Amino acid sequence: MTEVPLKLTAKDFRSDQEVRWCPGCGDFAILSAIQSFMPELGIPRERITFVSGIGCSSRFPYYLNTYGMHSIHGRAPAIATGLAVSRPDLSVWVVSGDGDALSIGGNHLLHALRRNVNIKILMFNNRIYGLTKGQCSPTSEFGKVTKSTPVGSRDTPFNPIAVALGSEASFVARTIDSDRKHLHSVLRAAAAHQGSAFIEIYQNCAIFNDGAFDVLKDPASRDSVLIRLEHGKPITFGATGEKCVVREPRGFGLEVADTASVPRSEIIVHDEAVPGPAYAFTLSRLSDQDLSNTPIGVFRRVARPTYESMVQEQNTAARTSATDSTPDDLLAELLHTGNTWTIR
Amino acid sequence: MAKQIQHLDRVAIRFAGDSGDGMQLTGDRFASETAILGNDLSTLPNYPAEIRAPSGSLHGVSSFQVHFAAHDVLTPGDSPDVLVAMNPAALRANLADLPPNAEIIVNTDEFTTRNLEKVGYTSNPLENDSLDGFTVHRVPLTSATIAALADFEVSKKDAERAKNMFALGLLSWMYSRPTEGTVEFLRQKFAKKPKIAAANVAAFQAGWNYGETTEDFAVRYEVKPANLLPGTYRSVNGNSALAYGLVAAGLRAHLPVFLGAYPITPASEILHELSAYKRYGVTTFQAEDEIAAVGSALGASYGGALGVTSTSGPGLALKTETLGLAVMLELPLVIVDVQRAGPSTGLPTKTEQSDLNIALFGRHGEAPLAVIAARSPADCFYAALEAARIALTYRMPVILLSDGYLANGSEPWLLPDPADLPDLRVEFATEPNGPDGKFLPYLHDPHTLARPWAVPGTPGLEHRVGGLEKANNTGAVSYVPADHDLMMRLRAARVEAIDVPDLEVEDPTGDARVLVLGWGSTYGPIGAACRKLRERGVSIAQAHLRHISPLPRNVGTVLAGYDRVIIPEMNLGQLAHVIRDRYLVDAVSYNKVNGQPFTSAELETVLEEVVRND
């Protein structure tokens, strides 16, 4: 048996498979970021499992030298739930895309989140179907021209953060493929969280939706659109912090204002631990399809018992005094419980 | 007055009434008394599909049939010799099933103009000649019960509700059943309401006394105990037995059982029962849908549990894509399909051998797996163990077919000694198995063709699996044509490699020229029909398949030994199709798809015709 090195490096997490994504794909950056982040977890490789669905992003497990399963389109959260519930000792990660998680597998995502299964769900959002060569996805902008929508999509897109919040998710965050430092910070927070973590990662598809997130990356534009959420800090953005987030004068939402024109006390101080999801929801609605006012970072992080810990608790309670019995004794006990009669 | 005692060999009684009349409980109690007496028996309930049907309506009739005998019993009985009809609806709904000379016990109190009108009677059948040819006992069950409970501190409504116990007492007297069990049962059931308990016991005893003292009941019957094997018994229906079998499989494998399931008729009871068996190493997960149910079970299997999912036809259809993945991943998985009449929603509460085709062929690509079927309610226990044995030994999904008839029907079950059950222990991979200390996740065992089961958490064996085609041994994704060809053949060969016992033939006279071949729940009616034919000197051979994929190796030889093969099925010929295709045998198919099980009488006629024409 190979000894587990005490100190793992990114190299330990690379599998022997040749990585096959298109040149320029954002997945390379995410893979590299995750491989370099994994040693930080301090968890031996054999206790880590990546489960994916189908799509470009779902090739991920093949490239990580951990346990892994490349499963069926949309079903990764369901399969990961079975694994995590029966093996709470494992660190289980799900890798998915916008089509996989929000279209064909939407139902499983909702239910994994509401149960608070201890799995970390990485949803690469490139706003397009890549592996099937360029159809509109559930996060494609309204009106988007794609192979399947030659005169423009008529579908209103999902806001993935809002969907996750509506599903009772206890940890919801967003990050960007090209910003390794930020990606690491979000992964770190997600890994430390007990329960489901939903992380939307904006990811560039170089072939079918190239440059979709350039406005968030280009040094000339990013400061004016990117809102970096930091727990306990007033939400301001812009090159000199000239913009800020305040309450809407009407309704229950939030809006962007000029920092100079509002009293400091009216600027919202980010609090990811607000018990109810309404605050995080309104934050998620600041950004529009054009990516103006896009918050990144942790939207919501609240403590809730994990599903598997509660299942284990019930199992343990039921098994008190059963631990001393042999399996055959237990079976005999079960079969003879209740109404029986004897023929002599 | 001394009553005449008449000895009977076998009797079938049907208790029928409104959904609220407690007929299931009444029938179940009668069956328990019968079991304790030592008769062999078989029971079948029939409930309305509606949860709360309007009272007194035809579609609100609920019934419970008990068939018991001084010998072994194979079916719940074709037609009842005795009908207990608690109201006009119960009479009308069941009359057509009665043979001539059957006895009918009716609750006259319920035959009011309004109740008669509700079910379309224009005149009272108790007052015209429509029941001529039957022996009718007119009993004022409701008013007699209320009168018997006059001195009890219970409301009139509660007194009236005890009329099912009055009926049970009367029937218990008629058939000389022991009463202690029911008295004890009532005391326990109503332990928190002692007044209700006392009233029900009194109603039960009043029913008994009514039989003994009323001249209308001149004859009392006795059915001697059957010659049953000694031991401890319990009554089980198919779903219970299946749940016990899954628990047993986990305990005999020393593995946790993980059930992923979504509620569906008639399989939900398996989920309910297993949910209560946490103590015995079972974890249940009520999934968001059928797909997540099987997906979670597969995920649990990947992690080293015995993954199980239970469903019925519509659910199996939804699970098929995951079954393909399970075939590709070469992991153990048990899929229980409690079949019901299809297609689509079909008749959810009615039975059919509907899903052999989808079980054998219902996946895209060629995705062979094992398919087995249970033949009786208690046999569901052993079928579950066999499904687990195949899944664990050969690392593949196994579909276990039960059906609504088995799920709800019950029979006495001689409890096995756990140590006599198959040892299902498996070995997880712990060491690299390839050259240079590499782990080859798809290196196959030369005998079973099973791959190593290396569960997450095992150091040094980290590997990736998935639905993409792979190279043998390494399991690495491969588009090489020869690799796909090899893996396709290997997956098929692993199913064929399953060690399956030979098909046994029952032919007591040894000179039969006609073989009746069946699978699944038709075992009882086919067996009963063959027995009746043999009693009349007609030779016939019977064989019944447990394993349908793969088929036992001797099936071809067995079939070749007969002039004629007849295959009765509760579908339009799904097994017949397989047999004709595989063995080029001109098998005769006999089919029934009306949602009802075969009766032994109809099969007796059909089989005799085949024998005579041979």
Instruction: Quote the minimal CA–CA distance from B242 to chain A in Å.
Output: 12
Query: Residue B52's pLDDT is what?
Result: 81
Given a cut of 80, whether residue B49 has pLDDT beyond it is no
Distance CA A121, CA A174 (A): 11
pLDDT at residue A137 greater than cutoff 50: yes
pLDDT score, position B470: 97
C-alpha closest to that of A71 among A87, A88, A47, A55: A55
Residue B614: its pLDDT value, please? Answer: 82
CA dihedral sign, ordered B109, B115, B117, B120: negative
- Angular region, B542: left φ>0, alpha ψ -120 to 50, beta rest: beta
Chain pair A-B, CB pairs under 8 angstroms? 208
Are A108 and B288 an interchain contact pair (Cβ–Cβ within 8 Å)?
A: yes
- Overall average pLDDT of the B356-382 stretch: 98
User: Three-state SS for B441?
Assistant: coil
Mean pLDDT of B345-353: 95
Say whether pLDDT at A4 is over 60.
no
Q: Would you kindly state where each structural domain of chain A is located, as residue ranges?
A: 10-212
pLDDT tens digits, A15-29: 999 999 999 999 999
Q: Is A172 left (phi over 0), alpha (psi -120 to 50) or beta?
A: beta
Contact B470, B477 (CB under 8 A): yes
pLDDT digits (tens, 9 = 90+) for A38-65: 999 999 999 999 999 999 999 999 999 9
Taking CB atoms and an 8 Å limit, are B457 and A46 in contact across chains?
Answer: yes
pLDDT, position B539: 97
pLDDT band at A1 (very low <50, low <70, confident <90, very high): very low
Task: Tell me the pLDDT tens digit for each residue of A159-208.
Answer: 999 999 999 999 999 999 999 999 999 999 999 999 999 999 999 999 99
pLDDT above 70: residue B37: yes
Q: What is the mean pLDDT of residues A102-119?
A: 98
Q: Which of B122, B167, B120, B124 is nearest to B142 (CA)?
A: B167
Grouping H, G, I as helix, E, B as strand and the rest as coil, residue B454 is: coil
Q: Which of B247, B304, B456 sits opposite A47 (nearest CB)?
A: B456
Q: What would the mean pLDDT of A228-243 be, rounded to a whole number?
A: 98
Residue A65: the pLDDT is 96
Q: Is B415 in CB contact (< 8 Å) with chain A?
A: yes
Place of tokens 């959260």: A77
Q: Which residue of B has its CA nearest to A112?
A: B288
Segment B425-447, tens digit of pLDDT: 999 999 999 999 999 999 999 99
CATH number of A10-212: 3.40.50.970
In B220-259, the residues whose Cβ lies within 8 Å of chain A are 228-235, 244, 247-248, 251-252, 254, 256, 258
Is the CB of B303 less than 8 angstroms away from the CB of A46? no
State the average pLDDT over residues B60-81.
Answer: 96
DSSP characters over B232-294: EEEEEEHHHHHHHHHHHHHHHHT--EEEEE---TTTHHHHHHHHT-GGGTEEEEE-SSHHHHH
The pLDDT of residue A6 is 54
Chain segment B278-293, per-residue pLDDT in tens: 999 999 999 999 999 9
- Partners of B463 on chain A (C-beta within 8 Å) are 67-68
pLDDT digits (tens, 9 = 90+) for B526-566: 999 999 999 999 999 999 999 999 999 999 999 999 999 99
User: What is the band of B51 on the pLDDT scale with cuts at 50, 70, 90?
Assistant: confident
**A242-259 pLDDT tens trace:** 999 999 998 899 999 999
Residue range B199-216: mean pLDDT, rounded: 96
Which amino acid makes up residue B204?
Answer: F
Q: How far apart are CA A40 and CA A9, in angstroms?
A: 9
What residue ranges define each of the domains in chain B, with the CATH number in brackets? 4-223 (3.40.920.10), 234-420 (3.40.50.970), 505-613 (3.40.50.920)
Q: At residue A7, does pLDDT exceed 90?
A: no
Handedness of CA B473, B478, B480, B486 (dihedral sign): positive
Cβ contact B298–A344 (<8 Å): no
Stretch B468-481: mean pLDDT: 97
For the beta sheet containing B397-403, the strands, ordered from the edge strand earlier in sequence to the opposite edge, are B282-286, B257-261, B306-311, B333-339, B397-403, B370-373, B547-549
Summarize pLDDT for A291-331 with one digit per residue, the tens. Answer: 999 999 999 999 999 999 999 999 999 998 887 899 999 99
Contacts of B291 in chain A (CB under 8 A): 75, 78, 108
Phi/psi of residue A109, nearest 5 degrees: -60, -50
Sort B594 into a burial class: Cβ within 10 Å, 0-12 / 13-18 / 19+.
exposed
Mean pLDDT of chain B: 96
Mark yes or no for CB contact A67/B464 under 8 Å: yes
